[in-house]
Amino acid sequence: MAEFIRSRILSFKYAFQGWGYAMRTQRNVWIHSTIATIVFFVGLWLHLPARDWAVIILTGAMVFAAEFMNTAIEAVVDLATSEHHPLAKIGKDVGAAAVLVAAMAAVLVGLLILGPPLWLKLLPLISNL
């Protein structure tokens, strides 16, 4: 039982090391983190209901998961070959496409969830100008 617990703790340690690596080395992770932080504070300001928070959290997690998988694909491809191979390019390009799809979906979800209440909150401020 002690070995099982130790291995689970190590699993979390390795996962956080991977997260740290991505944060240190991947510019897009910083961009996603910045946008996620802004969305978080806007959501707090708008007093979003729990269901909206659930959708936003799942959507953000999807973007980060895609970005982390893309980073892993790139690292494995770079390990496997240093030459410019067409299959290596396909692997990297498709990984990047997965991030793009997730990010575009997140933008649409953000507009659908945050857009209407944000518009209602900003309308009085805009009409006073």
HEC assignment per residue over the chain: CHHHHHHHHHHHHHHHHHHHHHHHHCHHHHHHHHHHHHHHHHHHHHCCCHHHHHHHHHHHHHHHHHHHHHHHHHHHHHHHCCCCCHHHHHHHHHHHHHHHHHHHHHHHHHHHHHHHHHHHHHHHHHHCC
Verify whether residue 67 is a known catalytic residue: yes
Letter for the amino acid at 16?
F
Catalytic residue among 3, 67, 74, 83: 67
Catalytic amino acids?
A: 67
